[in-house]
Amino acid sequence: ERLVRAIQGKYSNYDTDLFQPLIREISARSGIAYGSSEETDIAMRVISDHIRALSFAIADGEMPSNNKAGYVIRRILRRAVRYGYTFLGFEEPALYELVPLLSKQFGSVFPELKEQEEFVVKVIKEEEAAFLRTLANGIHRFKKYLEQQPGSTMIEGSFAFELYDTYGFPLDLTQVMAREHNLGVDITGFQQQMELQKERSRTAQEKDEGDWISVGEESEQTFLGYRQTDAPCRLIKYRELKEKDKVRYQLVLDQTPFYAESGGQVGDTGYLSVDGKKIGVADTKKENELIVHIADGLPDPPDAPMHAYVDVAKRRATENNHSATHLVHAALRKVLGEHVQQRGSLVNDKVLRFDFSHFSKMTDGEIQKVERLVNEKVRENISREVREDVPLQEAQEMGAMALFGEKYGEKVRVVCFDPTFSIELCGGTHVPATGRIGLFKIISEGSIASGIRRLEAVTARGAEKYVEEKIRTLEQVNDLLRHPKDPRKALQNLLSERDHLEKELERLRNKETQALKKQLLGMVEKNDGFNSIITKISPPSSEALKNISFELKNQLDNLFMVLAAEVDGKPQITVVISESLTDDEEWNASRIVRELAPLIKGGGGGQSFYATAGGKDLTGLAPVIDKARKMLATMQAVKNQNP
């Protein structure tokens, strides 16, 4: 860019033909000429620079998120949005509209952007819309803070943390806003607040780990779990683990068949056998490249020979789900497009959860296509191919999928189910052939973040149970419908009949409501300067009671009304007072209903002209009428004394 600037004889990179097309577009959309002011010029330069970084990164596989590289992307986008909102008047999503121009400009040197233009546009638009919803409130809060701190030269760390925690403002965005007002930010105070939050989180876990205790000489640990589910072993070292009121032990063995949680696959469970006694293993974790077993006890003595046994049924079910995630990843890319990339996963013996990049809700047809494709591969019974210690570059040349954000060493493990369908870098355990998965069934699909979808599915016996439950439910519905030839049509007829009956019921209720209203109009008492209705009624519903109240209020001038009602077996009170009477503080519906509510063992409130209360005691409705009449008499007497 500097070379281009020199060749084109410009004073700034932003004046070259690399940036000017974008800046001209931003200027046109904002209606502000570039060069009008330093503030708006800076905003246009920031946006033109940031939209390039965002578009290239998203096309390259990164997505806005709350951690790692995705958080950097989110911060860049929010900074650009803030400049557009504050200085250029972009109160609606606008950055995404620059992507087609960028794609046209750089498509020849970065074809990925052209290929994924639609996806990039949708991701940026959704992220913009999400941030704009809180940006206005955050900026308003920032301005309020400045008004309350006249003469201050520093933004308090606690306030910077409030913007971060409540409004999603990254610290650097707060610093930019502060600099615009010649203010600094108390970084130390911000970090202290952040640490306090982390400490609260740590305290909630109530976890205390002791020091490691070695047992004999330490040796290299060997993982045997790819080929074995049991093996002889001995303890290398251990430490005590206190979780709330429970004491467990973290054990490191010289060799183990237990798989430690990683790559989305949960850790193995099982037990250790010591002289015929069993020590339960509740979980297996990885710590500093060591496989750590969370055990219920210690061998006695600690150096006693042991035998480790993995819970085979759980491991097999987990492997079914893990291998299915590889198949579903490949199927999603074929059905939805090459932009789909894994963004997270959870694999256990019950369910598989797969997070992936995609800009819209999957249709029923797309879900069905993915299911069919995965089940086709299951029926093909494709043998698993695993290659260990493959150079990373060689694996990628083979077409192996490397997950964005994952750290890989120089040598990797490649798992393949048909080289033309699924090749992935993976350290987990898998089925020997896809046929063992049996059946694959998607049970849910939804959004978890901007541009990120989550799919949940079951396999093998879990899928069978899911289908059996659906069939059982259908059979029960058939029983209720008395086994019609066409259950769908029978259900539609039933729903139509219900809609008809609901309309008829509503008609009858309206008729009853109007009859009740007519009855109440006949009970109006003419007083000196106002009309009153104080009585007990039984309306068909709470909604009918409300409608009657407002209709009478609109129809009768200077109305004072107290209705003690029984609705669905429960007592309710409604007080209505015309606005022409509420100028007098005594004539306040909210005050009156609060005085009456204890008689029905309830409470309520509202406005000066309309208030309601609900309660538990139906026997209190009659006393409500008596007290309301006395209150009216007192209020009328006071009014007459003070005309």
* pLDDT tens readout for residues 226-241: 999 999 999 999 998 8
401: alpha, beta or left? (left if phi > 0; alpha if psi -120 to 50): beta
Of the chain, the percentage scoring pLDDT greater than 90 comes to: 57
pLDDT at 407: 66
pLDDT: is 163 or 381 the higher one? 381
**pTM assigned to the model:** 0.61
On whether the CB atoms of residues 19 and 106 are closer than 8 A, the answer is no
- 93-96 long-range contacts, CB within 8 A, separation 24+: 93/124, 93/125, 93/128, 93/129, 93/132, 94/29, 94/128, 95/47, 95/50, 95/51, 95/54, 95/124, 95/128, 96/121, 96/122, 96/124, 96/125, 96/128
pLDDT at 444: 94
Angle at which helix 117-148 crosses helix 171-179, to 10 degrees, equals 60
Distance CA 85, CA 176 (A): 14
**CA nearest to 239, candidates 261, 281, 270, 208:** 208
| Digit-coded pLDDT (tens) for 469-479 | 999 999 999 99
For residue 301, is the peptide bond before it cis, meaning its omega torsion is within 30 degrees of 0?
yes
Distance CA 161, CA 192 (A): 9
| Digit-coded pLDDT (tens) for 477-501 | 999 998 998 989 999 999 999 999 9
Angle at which helix 117-148 crosses helix 157-167, to 10 degrees, equals 140
Q: Which of 151-165, 259-273, 594-608 has the highest mean pLDDT?
A: 259-273
Q: How confident is the model at residue 604 (pLDDT cuts 50, 70, 90)?
A: confident
pLDDT at 495: 93
pLDDT at 520: 93
Q: How confident is the model at residue 164 (pLDDT cuts 50, 70, 90)?
A: confident
pLDDT at 202: 61
pLDDT at 69: 82
Distance CA 373, CA 378 (A): 9
pLDDT at 199: 75
DSSP single-letter state for residue 322: H
Q: Which helix (H) or strand (E) holds 490?
A: helix 487-521
3-class secondary-structure state, position 137: helix
Q: How confident is the model at residue 61 (pLDDT cuts 50, 70, 90)?
A: confident
Task: Kindly state the average pLDDT of the residues 410-432.
Answer: 93
Task: Kindly state the average pLDDT of the residues 354-362.
Answer: 89
| Digit-coded pLDDT (tens) for 322-353 | 999 999 999 999 999 988 888 888 999 999 99
Q: How confident is the model at residue 25 (pLDDT cuts 50, 70, 90)?
A: very high
| Cβ atoms < 10 Å from Cβ of 616 | 10
Distance CA 600, CA 566 (A): 11
On whether the CB atoms of residues 537 and 552 are closer than 8 A, the answer is no
pLDDT over threshold 90, residue 134 = no
DSSP single-letter state for residue 383: B
Task: Kindly state the average pLDDT of the residues 581-596.
Answer: 85
3-class secondary-structure state, position 36: coil
Distance CA 279, CA 14 (A): 68
Task: Kindly state the average pLDDT of the residues 530-550.
Answer: 91
On whether the CB atoms of residues 54 and 69 are closer than 8 A, the answer is no
Q: What is the mean pLDDT of the chain?
A: 89
pLDDT: is 363 or 149 the higher one? 363
pLDDT over threshold 90, residue 173 = no
Distance CA 49, CA 83 (A): 12
pLDDT: is 625 or 205 the higher one? 625
Distance CA 110, CA 108 (A): 6
**CB-based contacts of 167, cutoff 8 Å, min separation 6:** 134, 135, 137, 138, 141
Distance CA 172, CA 639 (A): 64
Percent helix, strand, coil in the chain, to 5, is: 50, 25, 30
Of the chain, the percentage scoring pLDDT greater than 70 comes to: 97
DSSP single-letter state for residue 262: B
Task: Kindly state the average pLDDT of the residues 179-192.
Answer: 88
User: Exposure of 458 by Cβ count < 10 A (0-12 exposed, 13-18 middle, 19+ buried)?
Assistant: buried
pLDDT at 45: 94
| Digit-coded pLDDT (tens) for 197-222 | 877 666 555 556 678 888 877 788 99
pLDDT at 583: 75
pLDDT at 584: 73
On whether the CB atoms of residues 518 and 546 are closer than 8 A, the answer is no
pLDDT at 458: 97
pLDDT at 60: 82
pLDDT at 23: 93
Give the lowest-confidence range in 122-131, 347-356, 398-407. Answer: 398-407
Q: Going by DSSP bridges, is the β-strand pair 411-417/525-526 parallel, antiparallel, or unpaired?
A: unpaired
